[in-house]
Amino acid sequence: MVTRTVNALNRTAPARRALEATLGVERTAWRPELAERTFRSTARADATLPVRDGERTPGRLALLSTCYVNYNEPDIGDDLLKILAHNAIPVTLAKKEVCCGMPKLELGDLAASSERRSPTFRCWRRLRAQDTGSFRLCRRAR
């Protein structure tokens, strides 16, 4: 219900003018729609597959999806999990995610982007401690 309302509002001229006036988002700018469901709400990672180490990588993966995949394009994450399952690669999802700073970086705000990246790197370190030996994958928005 909330996502439908936000998506509908994002298509109206008054809401676009308000976002431009308050947040500086240009009224004609493209905005991704919010998905009806989140990736994390339905993702079913399979960590039960046998681990087969590669030549240069461990044979399992820890996935840190981004807010873009989680809220806007959950099908990207779903497709990735299908590919990993097809290739018999065990995968676990990060228990908690934080902002990677990409939106700020894309706006050219390097300082804010750096501030946002620090918690993400801490998340990676926690993930490494939870699941030693996994290759870590982060899918960034384009």
Query: Looking at residue 81, what is its pLDDT?
Result: 92
Do both 65 and 127 map to the same domain? yes
Name the least confident of 8-12, 67-71, 123-127, 137-141. Answer: 137-141
Distance CA 96, CA 83 (A): 23
Length of the chain, please? 142
Domain total for the chain? 2
Do both 8 and 67 map to the same domain? no
Distance CA 16, CA 25 (A): 8
Strand ranges inside the chain, DSSP E: 61-64, 91-93, 135-138
Query: Do 25 and 19 touch, CB atoms closer than 8 A?
Result: yes
Query: Looking at residue 13, what is its pLDDT?
Result: 95
Do both 56 and 19 map to the same domain? no
Identity of residue 128: R
Strand ranges inside 33-90, DSSP E: 61-64
Do both 17 and 42 map to the same domain? no
Nearest alpha carbon to residue 48 among 95, 89, 100: 89
Name the least confident of 16-20, 45-49, 71-75, 133-137. Answer: 133-137
Do both 56 and 112 map to the same domain? yes
Query: Looking at residue 103, what is its pLDDT?
Result: 74
Task: Write phi, then psi, for 24 (nearest 5 degrees).
Answer: 80, 15
Question: What pTM, to 2 d.p., does this model score?
Answer: 0.65
Query: Looking at residue 15, what is its pLDDT?
Result: 93
Instruction: Give residue 3's domain range.
Output: 1-34
Angle at 90 between CA 87 and CA 92, to 5 degrees: 135
What pLDDT, in 10s, does the model give residues 42-65?
Answer: 898 887 888 877 776 677 777 878
Do both 53 and 29 map to the same domain? no
Do both 67 and 9 map to the same domain? no
What pLDDT, in 10s, does the model give residues 71-108?
Answer: 888 999 999 999 988 988 888 887 777 677 777 777 78
